[in-house]
């Protein structure tokens, strides 16, 4: 699925309450608060799937990120957005059980996004959408932690913040 700067998203206030609507392009250009989801996909051995964002992305192109992520469309719930993004980006089924494990408040380091973080476990191999993702791989948590510590510039700011939260690593 291609990214469109004309997507309509909800604009929210400091309490994450909807106060209007705007296009994705306007929201990013004006740095308005809006909503996003990030999904962490684990396998049965507790490895995490990470994705490298396509170079065609307008935000953080070519950087490593959570397994799947995206904006919450206007009038969509966080959970529905997470299910949709998991399916669109990794071809994992809509009925994958997702557990909310963290929240981030909107600020410049999250791209002015209120973020809800979900995790799931799968036995299926993700099939990355090549428009969204240029590379993807399974990695054990210890190796990921070392990689982030050694080369933080390889990762999105939001992913680094999410990885620093203890709640995401607990089942």
Structural domain spans, the chain: 8-169
Query: For residue 1, what pLDDT is reported?
Result: 38
- List the chain pLDDT tens, one digit each, 171 residues: 345 667 899 999 999 999 999 999 999 999 999 999 999 999 999 999 999 999 998 889 999 999 999 999 999 999 999 999 999 999 999 999 999 999 999 999 899 999 999 999 999 999 999 999 999 999 999 999 999 999 999 999 999 999 999 888 876
Q: What homologous superfamily is domain 8-169 in, according to CATH?
A: Nucleoside Triphosphate Pyrophosphohydrolase (3.90.79.10)
Rounded distance between C-alpha atoms, residue 132 and residue 49, angstroms: 15
> Is the overall model pTM greater than 0.95, yes or no?
no
CA distances from 85 to 15, 98, 129 (A): 24, 12, 11
Neighbour-count burial of 41, counting CB atoms closer than 10 A to its CB (0-12 exposed, 13-18 middle, 19+ buried): buried
Query: For residue 4, what pLDDT is reported?
Result: 66
Q: Are 9 and 27 in contact (CB under 8 A)?
A: yes
The token duo for 62 is 């070519």
Q: Are 117 and 100 in contact (CB under 8 A)?
A: yes
């Amino acid at each position: 699925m291609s990214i469109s700067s004309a997507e309509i998203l909800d604009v929210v206030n400091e309490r994450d309450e909807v106060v209007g609507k705007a296009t994705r392009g306007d929201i990013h250009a004006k740095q308005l608060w809006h909503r996003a989801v990030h999904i962490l996909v684990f396998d049965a051995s507790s490895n995490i799937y990470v994705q490298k964002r396509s170079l065609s992305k307008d935000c953080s192109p070519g950087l490593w990120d959570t397994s799947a992520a995206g904006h919450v469309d206007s009038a969509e719930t966080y959970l529905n957005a997470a299910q949709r993004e998991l399916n669109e980006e990794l071809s994992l089924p809509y009925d994958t059980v997702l557990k909310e494990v963290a929240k981030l408040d909107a600020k410049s380091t999250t791209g002015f996004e209120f973020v809800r973080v979900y995790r799931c476990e799968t036995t299926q191999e993700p099939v990355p959408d090549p428009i969204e993702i240029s590379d993807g791989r399974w990695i054990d948590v210890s190796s990921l932690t070392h990689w982030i510590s050694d080369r933080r510039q390889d990762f999105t700011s939001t992913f680094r913040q999410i990885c620093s939260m203890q709640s995401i690593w607990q089942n």
